[in-house]
């Protein structure tokens, strides 16, 4: 019965019980199952160069592409460019957040990433991470939770909790993009994070678009230098 009414209720109920209050210790092993649909792109050379390992870019979309229609994630970022015919030198993994009003389950995303890496010829020293808006926030989070996994991080207009600066891998280069007129996620989120990272000695570059609102991803993901930069990065600690 104690488990069912909860600790907070038990405390109130027993305020007048001088000798009969109880504090119990217990545990519960939980299990969360997530169904993640995704697109996976292979570069043209993948089929021909059968002994070669390739880099992989994990892309996390924004809140507007969440839900049950996988086609939605083709609207922005690398998936949009792929539909338009762009070729990348690395694999591109683009999962979909199935919840329209929830943040990404980064633990499920990490399991998907590990599965894709295990099943295909992916160079574990060249796994890149990027995301926009809600996906940009999740990208910061993933880089903190899995600091030894990613060779580079590119965040576009994402929320950036300042304490994260202390937990990010200093050997992982970072590129941040944001519009200075963003009404959804203020540019100060990126301003403050970039400032802190530079103070701490991180390798970080910042593209701050003048006169651009929330959709800074339109400019960021059509920046060819971004993909050239990603493709040059490699984990230094392996």
| pLDDT tens-digit readout, 189-198 | 999 999 999 9
Cβ atoms of residues 69 and 75 within 8 Å: no
Does a structural domain hold residue 21? no
pTM over cut 0.85:
yes
Does a structural domain hold residue 176? yes
Domain count along the chain: 1
Has residue 20 got a pLDDT over 80? no
Does a structural domain hold residue 218? yes
Does a structural domain hold residue 10? no
Mean pLDDT of 84-97: 97
Does a structural domain hold residue 8? no
Mean pLDDT of 79-87: 97
Parallel, antiparallel, or unpaired for β 38-41 and 91-95? antiparallel
| pLDDT tens-digit readout, 48-81 | 999 999 999 999 999 999 999 999 999 999 999 9
Does a structural domain hold residue 39? yes
Mean pLDDT, all residues of the chain: 91
Residue 21: the pLDDT is 86
Does a structural domain hold residue 14? no
Q: How many residues does the chain have?
A: 238
| Maximum pairwise Cα distance, the chain | 77
Does a structural domain hold residue 193? yes
Beta strands in 117-227 (DSSP E): 122-132, 152-156, 174-179, 204-209
| pLDDT tens-digit readout, 115-166 | 999 999 999 999 999 999 999 999 999 999 999 999 999 999 999 999 999 9
Q: Which domain holds residue 175?
A: 31-232
CATH number of the domain that residue 78 is part of: 3.40.50.1820
């Amino acid at each position: 019965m104690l488990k069912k009414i909860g600790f907070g209720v038990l405390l109130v109920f027993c305020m007048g019980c001088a000798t009969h209050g109880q504090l119990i210790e217990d545990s519960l092993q939980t299990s969360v199952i997530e169904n993640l649909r995704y697109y996976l792109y292979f570069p043209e050379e993948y089929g021909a160069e059968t002994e070669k390992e390739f880099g992989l870019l994990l892309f996390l979309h924004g809140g507007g592409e969440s839900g049950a229609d996988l086609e939605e994630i083709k609207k922005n970022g690398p998936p949009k460019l792929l539909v338009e015919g762009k070729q990348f030198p690395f694999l591109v993994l683009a999962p979909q957040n199935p919840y329209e009003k929830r943040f990404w389950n980064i633990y499920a995303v990490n399991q998907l990433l590990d599965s894709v890496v295990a099943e295909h010829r992916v160079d574990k020293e060249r796994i890149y991470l990027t995301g926009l808006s809600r996906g940009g926030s999740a990208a910061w989070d993933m880089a903190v939770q899995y600091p030894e996994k990613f060779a580079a991080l590119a965040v576009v207009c994402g929320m950036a909790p300042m304490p994260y600066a202390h937990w990010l891998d200093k050997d992982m280069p970072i590129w941040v993009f944001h519009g200075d007129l963003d009404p959804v996620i203020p540019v100060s989120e990126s301003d403050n994070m970039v400032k802190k990272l530079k103070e701490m000695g991180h390798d970080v570059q910042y593209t701050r678009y003048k006169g651009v609102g929330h959709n800074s991803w339109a400019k960021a993901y059509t920046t060819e230098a971004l993909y050239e930069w990603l493709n040059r990065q490699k984990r230094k600690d392996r």
